[in-house]
Amino acid sequence: MINLAVLGLYLLIGFILKRTGKCPENSAQVLNLYVIYAALPGVIFSKVPALEFSTDLLIPVVIPWVLLAFSAVFIWLLGRAFKWPREVVGALLICVPLGNTSFFGFPMIEAFYGSDAIVYGLLYDQFGSFFGLAIYSTIVIALYREQDNKPTVASVTRQIVTFPPFIALIIALLTKSLVYPEVFQRLIDSLAVTLVPVIMIAVGFQLKFRLPKGSKTPLTIGLLTKLVLMPLITVGLLYGFGFDSTLVQVTIFESAMPPMITAGAVAIMAGLAPRLSAAMVGYGILFAFVSLPIVYQLLQLLSAH
C-alpha cells in the first residue's frame, strides 16, 4: 500500500503543478517525450537481457489482441443497442480496447510486483497495446471520422518502426546475449529508475474530469468494461495456466488497466466525443487506484488455491 500511496502522490504533484500555472503548457508533452526517448528505452535495455525465452511469453503478446477483438465487437453491439451517436461509438472503440499499459501500467506493476516484472508488461504493451494504437486506432478513425487524408499501410508501418521503445526492444532482443559496457549499464540503470516518477507526474498533468452532458451511460459502461469485464475475461482465458506465475498475473493485471492516455488524445484529436474521451481517461485512472488493488488481491487468492 505504501508503493500505491507514493504513486498517488506523484500523480497529485503533477495535478497540482498543472494548476499552479507556473509550468509551460507543453510540460506534459515534454515529460512524455523524455519517457519515450530515454526512460522507457532504459528500462527495456535493463530488463530484457534477463528475460528467459519460452512459449509462455506468447501469453502477454496474444491476450491483448483477443481482448481488443472482444471489446471492439462488444462496444459496437452496445452502440447499436443504445443508439449512441457515431462519435460516441468511435470514442469508446478507441478508449475501451486500448489500456494504459505503459504510462500507468509500468508504475503499477512495479508497485505490486517489483521492477523485474515490468519486462512482462513490456511484452504486453509493445506487441499488444502499442501495435493496437498504431494499427487498430488508425482504422477506427478512418471509419468514424470524416477526413481527407486516409491512413496508408506505409504511414502506419513507419509509425511503428520509428517508435523509440520499439526500436530499443528489437535491439535489446538482438543483443540479449551480450554484456553491456559498464558505462552503458550505468546509464540505462539510472534512466530506468526515473521512469515511474516522471510518468506519474506527466499523467497528473494530463488528468481531466469534466463530464459531458448525456454521456454518463457510455462512460459508465465503457469503464466497467475496461476495468472489470476485461480482466475477468482474461482470468477465464488463462485459467488453465494457473495463477501462481508472475507472467500470468502481470498479463491479467495489464488487462485491467484504465484507458490509455494516448488513445484518449488520439480520439480527441480526431474529434470523436472529445470530452467523453478525456473523461474516460481521467475517471479511469482515478477508479483504477481502487480496482487494481482488488484485482491484485483476487489474483493472490486464486494463486493460493
Q: How far is CA 203 from the centre of its chain?
A: 12
**pLDDT at residue 146, as a whole number:** 60
7 within domain boundaries: no
pLDDT for the residue numbered 77: 97
Q: In angstroms, rounded to a whole number, what is the distance separating the alpha carbons of residues 298 and 170?
A: 34
One-letter amino acid at 53 equals F
CB within 8 Å of 296: residues ≥ 6 apart: 112, 253
pLDDT digits (tens, 9 = 90+) for 115-125: 889 989 989 98
For the whole model, what pTM was predicted?
A: 0.82
pLDDT of residue 290: 94
Q: How many domains does the chain have?
A: 1
Return the pLDDT at 66: 95
Q: Which residues are bridge partners to 99 per DSSP?
A: 259
pLDDT at residue 129 in the model: 81
What does the pLDDT read at residue 238?
95
Residues in the chain, pLDDT under 50: none
DSSP of 9-71, one letter per residue?
HHHHHHHHHHHHS-S-TTHHHHHHHHIIIIIHHHHHHHHGGGPPP-GGGGHHHHHHHHHHHHH
Domain annotation covers residue 34? no
In a domain, 189, yes or no: no
Domain of 98 in residue numbering reads as: 46-174+208-304
Q: How many residues does the chain have?
A: 305
Q: How far apart are CA 76 and CA 38, in angstroms?
A: 38
Question: How high is the pLDDT of residue 196?
Answer: 79
In a domain, 74, yes or no: yes
CA distance 195 to 128: 20
